[in-house]
Amino acid sequence: MLSVKFIDHELPNCFMNASGPKCTDLDQLMTLASNKYVSCVVSKSCTVEHRDGNPLPRYWEDDALTINSTGLANKGYKYYGEISEKVTSTNKPFIVSVAGLCQNDNLEMLNHLNNIPAVSAIELNLSCPNIAGKPQVGYDLDATRDLLRKVFDIKESVASLVEMIPIKEITKPLGLKLPPYFDPNQIIQTADLISEFPISYVTCINSLGNGLVIDPNSIGPVIKPKCGLGGIGGDVIKPFALSNVYQFRQALPDKIDVIGCGGISKGRDAFEHILVGATAVQLGSVFMKEGPSCFKRISEELTMELQKMGFKNLDECRGKFTPII
Ligand code: SIN
């Protein structure tokens, strides 16, 4: 009932983890890979070098929202290539998320990971809000265009970078993790640009960047980095996630999947993401708060929601959202 086709795989259900919480090291990734209700495993966004991330405290939650400024704490891209065979030994696709601190870092990581057989796909994160002094590339059309041109002309682009052999065209499915957009025109322009390239999927949305939560018991913020500014996730962001999934689904060609991410904490939320056109969904804040059991709970709730609404499977429900005329 929940099966989907995604990145050339037939997946038994539509749930994967969002690149973010609890997907940084092999233990965490194997916990995801061995969970029957996780159909595809996504790594923490990696950088060229290992990073400890931003100073603590850098995460806070309440019932409605989460705020994080993790700062891309990760083990460095080579680690994710090295462990890819173990992660896929459970026969689940493994997507490595990359978030280079500059364009050449992204090209270096893509070139390397593209050559590793057990890496199933690469998710290029254009939307991390938490690195001081590094704007979110996904908000800059020219920078996004320039990066994608170089990615898909990688032989030429990396010719001047050292230690980059063997170089071959990008052959793995490539996804883009996008920031939330708030104006329909931004979405049209971004979708038009993405459509020029052989992108497999977009993930909508990353956290809402640079939110500020003030500690209820003090006069300061709840997290330390960037004076308290961080990415907002959790239930409060669902309307923005649904809006972005819906608009990107309308604006992109069918061959580019839209993956829904944001504000999914129960089966009904996943149902709504599918209704507006998501192929599959990623769980972030709820996984951070509840742990691995959220995948089973939300799968079962989604199955019940589909039955209640009279749909036999996800294909029947996908895109059936109908505006009031
Ligand atoms: C972080 O590591 O700061 C979060 C990553 C992201 O939002 O893309």
Point out the residues that are catalytic: 128
Mean residue pLDDT of the chain comes to 96
Q: Tally DSSP H helices, then E strands, for the chain.
A: 12, 14
Contact 246, 188 (CB under 8 A): no
Chain center to CA of 202 = 8
Instruction: Please choose from 206, 208, 232 the residue to mutate so as to test ligand 1's pocket, defined by most ligand atoms within 8 A of CB.
Output: 206
Ligand 1 cavity residues, CB under 6 Å = 20, 45, 69-72, 125, 127-130, 206-207, 231
Residue 255 carries which DSSP code? Answer: T
Determine how many CB atoms are found less than 10 A away from the CB of residue 50.
Answer: 13
Q: How confident is the model at residue 283 (pLDDT cuts 50, 70, 90)?
A: very high
| Ligand 1 nearest-atom number relative to CA 130 | 3
259 Cα to the center of ligand 1, angstroms: 17
Please say if the pLDDT value at position 211 is more than 90: yes
| Ligand 1 nearest-atom number relative to CA 129 | 7
pLDDT tens-digit map of 21-56: 999 999 999 999 999 999 999 999 999 999 999 999
Can you give the pLDDT at residue 159?
65
pLDDT tens-digit map of 66-96: 999 999 999 999 999 999 999 999 999 999 9
Backbone angle region of 226, left / alpha / beta, with phi > 0 → left and psi within -120 to 50 → alpha: left
Please say if the pLDDT value at position 164 is more than 60: no
Residue 226 carries which DSSP code? Answer: G
| Ligand 1 nearest-atom number relative to CA 68 | 3
Minimal-distance CA residue to ligand 1 atom 5: 128
Q: How confident is the model at residue 154 (pLDDT cuts 50, 70, 90)?
A: confident
Can you give the pLDDT at residue 258?
99
Can you give the pLDDT at residue 24?
98
Please say if the pLDDT value at position 155 is more than 90: no
Instruction: Please choose from 128, 176, 288 the residue to mutate so as to test ligand 1's pocket, defined by most ligand atoms within 8 A of CB.
Output: 128
Distances (CA, A) of 286 to 63, 104, 171, 264, 324: 10, 34, 33, 7, 31
Cβ contacts of 210-219, under 8 Å, gap ≥ 24: 210/129, 211/65, 211/67, 213/60, 213/65, 213/67
pLDDT tens-digit map of 132-152: 999 999 999 999 999 999 999
- CA dihedral (220, 221, 223, 228) in degrees, to 10, reads -120
Minimal-distance CA residue to ligand 1 atom 8: 128
